[in-house]
């Protein structure tokens, strides 16, 4: 029998967060090694639990969850999301413009499938969360990357973004707070980006899944409030802020002038209907999650577990002979980079593999996030501070060995 040939659409698709390095980690675990896994922001795997009242809401509605639900999601859940968006200043948001999916991942795919013609372009950050690139490619689009350099605090450059726009550009994607860098975008920057979208009639796609995970007084600015009547699709969910990844509940909210987004809204509804509905059972947790007092603040404030883990990372980098870091102000990750004055050349994939095989630590190389010539790696802030301190001891050992294997040279320009 002839071998089955996979779709050519997959040729340029990468998702190394769960790719070759993860498969190698499983092999090493099977051989008896204890691997410290820092590659995925999965709170439940690190001892975090969803708030008890979300579980109770699901348990009390099991008998209401056995039939297909509305293709856009339970009405009570969509009403709660619409109310949250109104509080945040979004315009034109009603329950019929809210879509609930099996996580934000499914909704990213739906949003681009409803938008793109073959060859259309989407402006994406570099580094990005790689699902955005994959969904663009798989739906016939072309990623156009704007840089978010460490030298610029991992903020995008509005002038560079505007220079990338062509007649085929359809959308501008913003990830704020950012994965993988932890950058939290200031209002003035977002205003500039909204103005660009207005000038070029771009759909704004705002991935805001980490909206309430903030450190050191950082402030989250919802994009929809600034966008006003411009079309803006805002993404949120239960997986990160509410530590409920396995519930697979995400949502997207379409704001802006309803007249100019009606056809797009109808296309989203058609695609939602084709997959029947999202997981009904877990949707009962949406209203209590958004209506009750938030629970994430105790974890990100001084003395909280996430705050302490972030502090351990900052101290680990400060004590390193090889690393620099733009301190993350949001989300669940840090994105250190290897100093160019210590390594004239650096292969982040080689480093990540050596860290795994020599020191049993699994991280994501920066190139996995569509960052060319990367000197970065991403690690999650979810482990304990004690474990993260040990991680940086191991990172330093690998970098010291790599440094000893090449002559020290004066550096060029950092990536």
Judgement on whether residues 95 and 179 belong to the same structural domain of the protein: yes
Amino acid 16: pLDDT:
67
In this structure, the answer to whether residues 283 and 335 fall within a common structural domain is no
Q: Are residues 244 and 351 in the same domain?
A: no
Percentage of residues in the chain having pLDDT higher than 90:
89
Read off the pLDDT of residues 217-263 as tens digits, 9 standing for 90 and up.
Answer: 999 999 999 999 999 999 999 999 999 999 999 999 999 999 999 99
Same domain, residue pair 287 and 338: no
Q: How many angstroms separate the Cα of 27 from the Cα of each of 12, 23, 24, 31, 360?
A: 26, 6, 5, 6, 12
Joined tokens for residue 104: 């934000």
Whether residues 187 and 115 share a domain: the answer is: yes
Same domain, 114 and 212: yes
Do the Cβ atoms of 131 and 304 come closer than 8 Å?
A: no
Give the domain extent around 273: 70-291
Tokens, residue 292: 């009750």
Based on the fold, state whether residues 99 and 233 are members of the same structural domain. yes
Burial class of residue 48, CB neighbours in 10 A (0-12, 13-18, 19+): middle
Q: pLDDT, tens digit, for every residue of 131-181?
A: 999 999 999 999 999 999 999 999 999 999 999 999 999 999 999 999 999
Give the residue-averaged pLDDT of 250-278.
95
- Number of structural domains (the chain) is 2
Per-residue pLDDT of 101-116, as tens digits, reads: 999 999 999 999 999 9
- The answer on 226 and 95 residing in a single domain is yes
* Same domain (yes/no): 36, 85: no
Q: In this structure, is residue 351 part of a structural domain?
A: yes
- Give the CATH number for residue 385: 3.90.1150.10
Do 79 and 150 sit in the same domain of this protein?
yes
Q: Domain end: 291, 316, 340, which one?
A: 291
**Domain final position from 234, 264, 291:** 291
Mean pLDDT (the chain) is 93
Tell me which H or E stretch contains 237: strand 232-237
Q: What is the CATH number of the domain that holds 102?
A: 3.40.640.10
Residues 194 and 304 in one domain: no
Is the pLDDT reported for residue 282 higher than 80? yes
pLDDT bin (cut points 50, 70, 90) of residue 396 is very high
């Amino acid at each position: 029998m002839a071998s089955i040939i996979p779709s050519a659409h997959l040729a340029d698709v990468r998702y190394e967060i769960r790719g070759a390095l993860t498969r190698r980690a499983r092999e090493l675990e099977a051989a008896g090694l204890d691997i410290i896994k820092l590659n995925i922001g999965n709170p439940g795997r690190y001892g975090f639990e969803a708030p008890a009242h979300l579980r109770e809401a699901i348990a009390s509605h099991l008998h209401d969850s056995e039939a297909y639900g509305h293709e856009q999601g339970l009405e009570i859940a969509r009403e709660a999301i619409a109310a949250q968006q109104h509080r945040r200043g979004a315009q034109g948001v009603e329950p019929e413009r809210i879509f609930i999916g099996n996580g934000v991942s499914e909704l990213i795919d739906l949003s681009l499938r409803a938008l793109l013609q073959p060859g259309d372009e989407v402006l994406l950050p570099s580094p990005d969360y790689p699902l955005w690139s994959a969904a663009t490619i798989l739906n016939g689009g072309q990623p156009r990357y704007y840089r978010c350099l460490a030298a610029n605090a991992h903020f995008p450059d509005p002038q560079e973004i505007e220079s990338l726009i062509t007649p085929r550009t359809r959308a501008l994607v913003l990830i704020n707070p950012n994965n993988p860098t932890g950058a939290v975008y200031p209002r003035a920057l977002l205003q500039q980006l909204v103005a660009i979208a207005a000038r070029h009639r771009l759909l704004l796609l705002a991935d805001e899944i980490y909206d309430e995970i903030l450190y050191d007084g950082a402030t989250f600015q919802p994009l929809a409030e600034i966008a006003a009547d411009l079309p803006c699709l805002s993404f949120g969910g239960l997986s990160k802020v509410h530590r409920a990844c396995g519930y697979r509940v995400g949502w997207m909210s379409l704001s802006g002038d309803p007249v100019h987004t009606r056809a797009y809204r109808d296309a989203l509804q058609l695609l939602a209907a084709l997959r029947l509905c999202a997981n009904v059972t877990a949707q009962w947790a949406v209203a209590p999650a958004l209506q009750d007092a938030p629970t994430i603040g105790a974890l990100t404030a001084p003395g909280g577990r996430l705050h302490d883990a972030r502090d351990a990372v900052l101290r680990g980098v400060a004590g390193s002979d090889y690393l620099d870091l733009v301190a993350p102000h949001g989300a669940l990750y840090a994105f250190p980079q290897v100093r160019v004055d210590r390594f004239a050349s650096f292969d982040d994939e080689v480093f990540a593999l050596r860290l795994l095989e020599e020191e049993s630590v699994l991280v994501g190389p920066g190139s996995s996030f569509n960052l060319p010539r990367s000197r970065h790696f991403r690690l999650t802030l979810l482990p304990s501070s004690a474990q993260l301190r040990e991680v940086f001891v191991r990172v330093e050992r690998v970098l010291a060995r790599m440094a000893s294997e090449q002559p020290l040279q004066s550096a060029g320009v950092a990536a």
